[in-house]
Structure formats: C-alpha cells, structure tokens
Amino acid sequence: MSSDQDEQSTDSPDAADTVAPQAARSEASTAVDILDTGDSSLSRRQVLAGAGGAGLLAATPIPLTLQRPRQQRASAGATPEQIHLTWGRDPATSIAVSWASPEPAVRPRVLLSGPGGGSRVASAVRRSYTDGISGEVVWTYHAQLTGLAPGTVYSYAIRADNDGAAEPFSATFRTAPRGRAPFRFTSFGDLATPSPRWVLSYGQSAYAVAAVESFQPLFHLLNGDLCYADLNPAHQSEVWRDFGNNCQASAAHRAWMPCPGNHEIEFGNGPQGLGSYLTRYTLPDNGVPGLRGRWYAFRVSSALFVSLDADDVVYQDAGAFVAGPGPLTPAAGAGGDTIPPGTSFYIRGYSGGAQTAWLERTLAAARADHSIDWIIVQMHQDAASSSATGNGSDLGIRQAWLPLFDRYQVDLVLCGHDHDYERSFPVRGFDAMAGRDAATGEPVQTLRPHPVTTADASVFDSSEGTVHLILGCGGTSAPLDEYGVDAADGLRQAKVFTRANRPAPTATPGVFARAGADALEDATWSAMRDPSTGYGIAVFDVHPGEVRGGMTSITVRYFHAVGADPVNPASGRAGAPTPTYTEFETFTLVRHRSDG
Ligand SMILES: [Fe+2]
C-alpha cells in the first residue's frame, strides 16, 4: 500500500510502510468448509433470483417487511459515491461526511444548511491509497462539520468542481442530543455486500441496511467484518465499493460507527493491513500517535460508546491468508512481492499494550463522570460465543479486557464474528480451569466468564454483570447459527481459542490450513441462542430516567429474518434473502444513575 495525504488530517492512516507478504483465504477452517461445499454458489443464484424489488423505504410498522433499498449506481469521474457519516469528537456538535469517487475530485466540499436557513461550505480532505494487490488507486474525501447545534436536523449536499452531477447528492442528518435524553441505536456486524460476485456476499446485506433505516436510529454500530474484501484479494477495492454503495442507503443519513474485524486485515495495506478501512473512515481521535482510527470512544447522552480492535488481543489467526497451493501474486505496479502459500497476516499484540492502557484510562474516566451511566463496548471478536459452526470464544479477550469490564462495570459488549445471535447472562469474574483440551481432554484454563445469575429474567441489573451479545447477523452468505452442545451432559458448549492457530501444512502438498479452536467448555454463561436463522438486527432504546440517582434502562429488542439462510436450518431446503424481520426477544438492562 502507498498512501497519498493531499491534506493533513488527524485521522489519516499511517504513511507508506513495509509490510510482510500477506494473503487471505477465510474466516476460519469451519467457515472454509461452508464455502467450499458450494453453498456460496447456491446463495448467489438465489440472490439473482430474489433481487427484483426496488424502491424507497417508508416508515415501517413491526413486524417489518422491508423493500429492498435502491442501490447506489456505480458512478464515474468524480461523482460522489459510497457516502457515509461518522460522529466527530462530540456527536452533539460534530459529524464527518465521507465519500469516494472513481477519479480525483477537484475542490471536494460539503454545503451545509441548518434549520434557520443559514448555510456554509466545508472543504473536504482528500485521502487516497493504492491497493497492495490490484494496484488500484482509491480516492476518498472527508469533511468535518463542527459547531453544530445538539439534537438538530441539518441538510447537506456534496459537490466537486468536476463531479459531473446535474444535481448534487443531498441528504439530512440529526445531531445527538445534549445531556440525559432518550435515544435509539442499532447494531450488527458481518454485513458483506449484496453483490453475488464476491465471496461471502449475499442479498440479505441490502435488506439489513434497509432494516437499520426502518428503525430510524440516531446511529448504527457496525461490529467489524464489513465486506470481506480480503477474501476477494484481486478485487478488494471493488468489494469495498459495493459495500459502501449498499450502506449509503442508511449511512448517508445517520452515523454508522465501525470497528475493525479480522477481515479488515488486508494484503499489503498498511502495518496492520487496515489501510483501506482507515482511509475510508474518519473516526474520533484516540490520541495515540501512529494508532489513530483503530479504536476510539464517543459519548451520546448518558452513554459512553467504546469501539475496540480485538485483532490486537485475540489468539485466533483469522486475517488474510494464502492457503495454497498457488501463491498470491500482486498485479504489476502494485509494488508487492509474491505471497507464498502458508502466509497469514497475524497482528496480535500490534499496539504493544497501548490499546488496553487507553481502554483502562477511558473506562476509569467514564466511571468517575457522574454524567455517564452506561458503558457500551463494540468489538468484532467474541469473549462469549458458543457457535459450533463458527469461531467460538477467545481467551485473549478474556485475559486482556474482561477484568477491566468487571472493574469498571461495562454494561454491554456488542460483537460479531460468528454469524448468528447469542446473549449471555450478566457475567463477572471467571470460573478457573473449566475448559478442556479439544484433542486430549486435559484441563485447560479458559477463564470462563462467571454468570452472576442463570435465571433468564427479562430484566437484568448490568451493574452486577456485563451482558455480551453476538450480533454477526448482518448479511453474509454463511450463517453460523448452529450451536455447541456437550454430548456428555447435554449442556451448552463453547469452543475457545487459547493459543494461536497459525497455518500448518495439510496432507495436500503446498496447501495449508488453520485449525479451529483448541479448547472446549460448558457455556454456563449462555442465556439465549437463535437456531432459526443467522440474520437479524438489534435495536437499543436508552431511557435516561427521570430522577437524579434513580433508575435508567436500555430496552433491547432483537429482530431476526427467518428463512433468509441460503439453506433453511429447520427444513434443509434452499432459502433466499428476505425483507421480513420479526421480533425474536426483548430484554431490559437497568442500573442506578450515577448522579445520585
Ligand atoms: Fe470475523
């Protein structure tokens, strides 16, 4: 990767760097199996068959039956595309407008209009990078809008001198409220794109974007594994383009806040492979030189949102990978060397502890702040997942971050990675030596999260324990909604990575594989799993409470898209993307306000 910083930006990715040869293959060995059985080609046919509808989304009652959103047409020249919003330093007063264009834009800018009829122009910073495999140059633009009024609707338009558009793209957004005020946000991860051309993409991805828009949240959390460009190594920037244009139907109207997943780690694109991600997104500054954009925090109303890059702490090796037998050879002009089979891009520990130190500072400050009640963490990989067909849990997160979540009473942890839905009981502390080696049966330390209750009430006090949600239910072609059961005792069972699964030779000469999780444990922390589908969306309504020192609550509703799986898990018959989302479960978190 080479990067071109035409103008200074505090959020810019790191400068051109030397990167060890990398290549990608898959999420995990189990995910490879799903893809290699041919299910992905089946899903692609279904996508083609089911991709007829189009139209604008109206305000929608529950249950939802969504119309497929109008796909942004591929543009030419400097016409803006892949338009998305992200919060600035203070979501009540600042937001960033970002977009891309096939060719460099001249004088890219945003025209902002406020409710009183006043308007102003904000210049955009241009950031570009050269994809390390294809050699394609990607042009992006970022305009920071600051000094806005809280809780206010603004309209904006995007222009460039050479944009070629008869009418500029225009949309509206709302800034966050100031002080303790109710608000809604939504979340899922693992979105992919609706284009059947790409590995792991599936038509449900378009309906997922429509689902976000139907709930009209203040903002959306996108929990990593955005589009799986790394699994399409010769076409990474094309995959990102389809992803950005799909998201635009919602992300141009409200902030979509991402975190990196293992599939944002790409060949030759920066020291952690995050060059494409970092170039495309403008995110709140974490203040750590050289590592900006990888993790961050922002505050809305009485809630602090902490977005982490778990790639830094997980044991699992699931980034870019060349399985073989052939090498991966970058295009002439891309500047990279041929990547031999058996190469994986493994970045555990890349921040040298800086992320965890930042996390502790951030959590400590939040719990000392009597205007903050809720702490909600977003990351991609999982501390508590019992998917049998997916990746499972990772000891690295349990070691590095769960003690901090306990100490500072993190309320919610929202993840992705396994393409399903799972909710934990509130957990605090751990059960020692509760795991066993998957191969030998010998006891293994998995630091199993300890449930503070196993009564599945509909209301939980999250000051007593942290609730983990797996929300890898966005829109991939590979749902992973089959869950582990211990055949010996009938209890729920989770796989746990307790060591790195680096590539190892297989029986086929020149072909390498990465093993699945090495340990198992009874998942006593698992409260709810959804075996009916791997697709859905979580909707969170934050109620700040009325009385100083009184109770505040978050109502959580999970809506799922039954029948959307490429193969229906109940019937075994072929499924297809579906516009219908119905409620699966509702629960409420409560805690005392911190201003008592
Ligand atoms: Fe993942």
Report how far ligand 1's centroid is from the alpha carbon of 381 (Å).
Answer: 6
- The angle, 0 to 180 degrees and rounded to 10, between the axes of the packed helices 39-50 and 29-36 is 60
> CA-CA distances (angstroms) from residue 140 to 71, 276, 286?
20, 10, 21
Query: What is the 235 CA–ligand 1 centroid distance (Å)?
Result: 19
Confidence tier at 1 by pLDDT (50, 70, 90)? low
* pLDDT tens column, 117-130: 899 999 999 999 99
Cβ atoms of 146 and 226 closer than 8 Å: no
DSSP 3-state percent helix, strand, coil across the chain (nearest 5): 15, 30, 55
Q: Does the predicted model carry a pTM greater than 0.85?
A: yes
109 alpha carbon to ligand 1 midpoint, in Å? 35
CA of 397 to the centre of ligand 1 (A): 14
CA 552 to chain centre: 27
Q: How far is the CA of 146 from the centre of ligand 1 (A)?
A: 34
Q: Is 48 exposed, middle or buried (0-12, 13-18, 19+ CB in 10 A)?
A: exposed
CA distance 479 to 416: 12
Question: 22 with 267: CB under 8 angstroms?
Answer: yes
Whole-number Å distance, alpha carbon 377 to ligand 1 midpoint, is: 17
Distances 90 to 154, 176, 198, 263, 376 between C-alpha atoms, Å:
16, 9, 36, 29, 17
Q: Could you tell me the distance, in angstroms and rounded to a whole number, from the CA of residue 552 to the centre of ligand 1?
A: 33
Q: Indicate if the pLDDT at residue 11 is higher than 50.
A: no
Where is average pLDDT lowest: 57-61, 76-80, 461-465?
Answer: 57-61
Q: What are the angstrom distances between the C-alpha of 207 and each of 39, 181, 210, 265, 478? A: 20, 30, 5, 26, 16
Residue 21 has pLDDT above 70, yes or no: no
Residue type for 513, please? A
Distance 318 CA to ligand 1 centre (A): 7
Contact predicate 188/537, CB 8 Å: yes
CA atoms of 84 and 72, how far apart (whole Å):
12
The Cα 334–Cα 340 span in angstroms is 16
- CA angle, corner 455, sides to 449 and 456, nearest 5? 90
Q: For the segment 170-201, what is each residue's pLDDT rounded down to a tens digit?
A: 999 999 999 999 999 999 999 999 999 999 99
Distances in whole angstroms, Cα of residue 109 to Cα of each of 1, 157, 384, 397, 555? 26, 8, 44, 41, 39
Is the pLDDT at 162 greater than 70? The verdict is yes
Distance in Å, CA 417 to ligand 1 centroid = 4
Measured in Å, residue 159 CA sits from the centre of ligand 1 at: 36
pLDDT 10s digits, 514-538: 999 999 999 999 999 999 999 999 9
- Tell me what pLDDT residue 572 has: 85
Residue with tokens 């479960």: 585
Give me the pLDDT at residue 28, please.
Answer: 28
Rounded distance from Cα 469 to ligand 1 centre (Å): 15
Using the mean position of ligand 1's atoms as its centre, give its distance from the Cα of residue 416 in Å: 7
**Mean pLDDT of all residues in 565-582:** 89
pLDDT digits (tens, 9 = 90+) for 237-258: 999 999 999 999 999 999 999 9
Query: What distance in angstroms lies between residue 347's CA and the mean position of ligand 1's atoms?
Result: 14
pLDDT of residue 381 exceeding 80, the answer is yes
Reported as a pLDDT band with limits 50, 70 and 90, residue 47 is very low
How high is the pLDDT of residue 76? 72
Task: Write down the residue that tokens 């460039």 correspond to.
Answer: 160
Task: Measure 228 CA to ligand 1 centroid, in angstroms.
Answer: 9
Q: Rounded mean pLDDT of 339-364?
A: 98
Taking only the tens place, the pLDDT of each residue in 259-289 is 999 999 999 999 999 999 999 999 999 999 9
Does position 71 have pLDDT exceeding 70, yes or no? no
pLDDT reported for residue 68: 54
Q: With 0-12 CB in 10 A as exposed, 13-18 as middle and 19+ as buried, what is 229?
A: buried
Checking if the pLDDT of 25 tops 60, the result is no
By C-alpha distance, which of 557, 514, 62 is closest to 318?
514
Please give the distance, rounded to the nearest whole angstrom, from the Cα atom of residue 378 to the centre of ligand 1.
Answer: 13
Q: How far is the CA of 44 from the centre of ligand 1 (A)?
A: 21
C-alpha to C-alpha distance for 482 and 392, rounded to whole angstroms: 11
For residue 570, name the pLDDT band (cuts at 50, 70, 90). confident
Whether residue 125 contacts residue 7, with contact meaning beta carbons closer than 8 Å, is answered with: yes
pLDDT of 346 higher than 70: yes
How many Å lie between the centroid of ligand 1 and the Cα of residue 263?
Answer: 6
Between the CA of 311 and the centroid of ligand 1 the distance, in Å, is 10
What pLDDT, in 10s, does the model give residues 82-122? Answer: 999 999 999 999 999 999 999 999 999 999 999 988 999 99
Nearest CA-CA partner of 264 in 315, 293, 232, 225: 225
**Angle subtended at Cα 516 by Cα 515 and Cα 521, rounded to the nearest 5 degrees:** 140
Q: Which of 237, 395, 246, 259 is nearest to 331 (CA)?
A: 237
Ligand 1 centroid from CA 240, angstroms:
16
Q: How far is the CA of 471 from the centre of ligand 1 (A)?
A: 11
* Residues 141, 99: Cα–Cα separation, whole Å: 5
| Ligand 1 midpoint to CA 233 (Å) | 16
Q: How confident is the model at residue 72 (pLDDT cuts 50, 70, 90)?
A: low
Task: Kindly give the distance from the C-alpha atom of residue 372 to the centroid of ligand 1, in angstroms, as a whole number.
Answer: 30
Provide the mean pLDDT of the chain: 89
Cα of 261 vs centre of ligand 1, distance in Å, is: 5
What pLDDT does 50 receive? 24
CA–CA dist 46, 533 (Å, integer)? 16
The CA-based diameter of the chain, rounded to the nearest angstrom, is 70
Ligand 1 midpoint to CA 230 (Å): 12
Using the mean position of ligand 1's atoms as its centre, give its distance from the Cα of residue 593 in Å. Answer: 35
**Cα of 111 from ligand 1 centre, angstroms:** 37
Ligand 1 center–CA 9 separation, angstroms:
29
Give the number of other CB atoms < 10 A from CB of residue 298.
Answer: 22
State in Å: Cα 380 to ligand 1 middle.
7
Rounded to the nearest angstrom, the distance between the alpha carbon of 308 and the centre of ligand 1 is 14
Ligand 1 center from residue 30 Cα (angstroms): 12
Give the Cβ contact number of residue 344 at 10 Å. Answer: 22
Surface-to-core class of residue 445, CB atoms within 10 Å of its CB (0-12 exposed, 13-18 middle, 19+ buried): middle
Centre of ligand 1 from the C-alpha of residue 34, in Å: 15
Ligand 1 centroid, distance to 117 Cα (angstroms): 45
Cα–Cα distance between 354 and 401 in angstroms, integer? 13
Interatomic CA distance for residues 202 and 198, integer angstroms: 8
Cα of 320 from ligand 1 centre, angstroms: 11
Expressed in angstroms and rounded, the spacing between residue 260 Cα and the centre of ligand 1 is 9
The tens digit of pLDDT for each residue in 402-429 reads: 999 999 999 999 999 999 999 999 999 9
Yes or no: say if 85 and 255 are a contact pair by the CB < 8 Å rule: yes
79 C-alpha to ligand 1 centroid (Å): 32
Going by C-alpha positions, the residue among 15, 33, 114 that lies closest to residue 482 is 33
**DSSP H/E element including 48:** helix 39-50
Q: How confident is the model at residue 324 (pLDDT cuts 50, 70, 90)?
A: very high
Do 377 and 413 form a contact (C-beta atoms < 8 A)?
A: yes
Question: From CA 94, how far away is CA 100, in angstroms rounded?
Answer: 20
